[in-house]
Chains A and B, each alone.
Chain A
């Protein structure tokens, strides 16, 4: 099979399109690169959805943790502690077990109508179940980062806001939130990178692969299993991830530029590419 042919056959295999059977004999490097790249679609999907939704939930969590009211603060603190304090590997496993038990757990699920009964079944699928776990996980990590940023907003900024008579939502939207984001952005970039790396755990612990549709690591594992040679597929995955990490860094760098656009050039905080957060 030529390289172009294997591209046509397997480029979208991870979504169930193209050739049904995975390559079995005479596996070429081309096929490995194409299929592993195809699996990368899932990694990007998991990371994008979890980050997008997690961003908003994390903001809410950070505000709750910063609140005076213990009814808001305590649950937020516990949520963040549980998700930051335990390995994602174990979170995936427990979530999967819980999702599997759900339909049996209560009658109310079937009483609420067909739609709801059907939707609990989808929770055991990676596209929904794993995304939920990743979403909760990244929310906890990002909330801690945002909380730290909230605490370090310069006092003068807030006093100035008060002096201008800004209150409530208006004060939050115009002053607190943009400043918090600006301060948190370098750390949040790291979180995004690590969340992306963490997506490789989805099919590795807990969630099963359906119809051989999996992520980059799933296919690398498949090839290592078929060719009995781990030294080709795993470095391919590694290469893909190094590339994607660079893409994330430049995307977040662009947003960082926008967040700091009002500052004079020399005062702009250069995004520090310090990756010191994983789960």
Chain B
């Protein structure tokens, strides 16, 4: 009897919600300007917000934005709490083993060191990075002492208060900070890590990956991606 009720209820459910697969939940961190951040109205904003909305329009998808802690952003994707990661995530081999990436929508972003003085020894000193980033792995493999913080904000704060000598992070993130603060400066050459930034997807979602790839290609072809990059990243020329 119980079983019968259950299965009829299930039938009613599946009949009632003929689920349209065209709602895509976009996962982002919301703490990494100008890529993505929560603006003063409490909404997701930034380069990736605008890019994502444009991609969804082109692919005729309805998109919904969700924020998630950086630490658990991949497990929550694989367990299906959202369908994409669009959070300034560099395409690396390690990540590629677990999730899939679309083609890059942003060139390999150079990382830079920011410090309070020109003569800081970034290869032997104390360097801060955000936990779980490619920069953290990079610092761990150099001779420097790695200090890890949970958020990008704290890494910069640690340089300001002298706790660490330098911070390694994406250039696009550090550049405006260094420009606005007279005490901070970019030192040394750009460090190239990763192979560009792409949208992360579940490996089982080949169809969605193809859809986004097509949309990205079309944005590259008509130059709108370049325009968008130039709008959000001051002094950068569109690479595509």
Contact = CB atoms under 8 A, between A and B. Distances in A.
B161 A208 contact: no
A24 interface: yes
21 contacts: A22-B140, A24-B94, A103-B162, A208-B147, A208-B154, A210-B145, A210-B147, A211-B145, A212-B146, A221-B71, A221-B131, A222-B132, A224-B71, A225-B74, A226-B94, A228-B74, A228-B75, A228-B98, A228-B99, A229-B75, A230-B75
Given A21-B141, A209-B131, 11 more contacts: A21-B140, A103-B162, A124-B163, A209-B147, A209-B148, A212-B148, A221-B71, A225-B71, A226-B94, A228-B98, A230-B72
Given A25-B94, A208-B158, A228-B98, A100 B75 contact: no
B141 A208 contact: no
Interface of A: 21-22, 24-25, 100-101, 103-104, 124, 204, 208-212, 221-222, 224-226, 228-230
Interface of B: 71-72, 74-75, 78, 94, 98-99, 128, 131-132, 137, 140-141, 145-150, 154, 158, 161-163
B163 A100 contact: yes
A80 B137 CA distance: 42
Nearest to B145: A211
Contacts, number: 51
Contacts of A208: 128, 147-149, 154, 158, 163
Contacts of B140: 21-22, 212
Contacts of B147: 208-211
Nearest to B93: A25
Contacts of A104: 161
A101 B158 CA distance: 11
Contacts of B99: 228
CB-CB nearest 5 A-B residue pairs = A225-B132, A228-B98, A228-B74, A100-B161, A208-B147
A24 B137 contact: yes
A211 B128 CA distance: 10
B145 A224 contact: no
Contacts of A124: 163
B78 A225 contact: no
Given A100-B163, A212-B140, A224 B148 contact: no
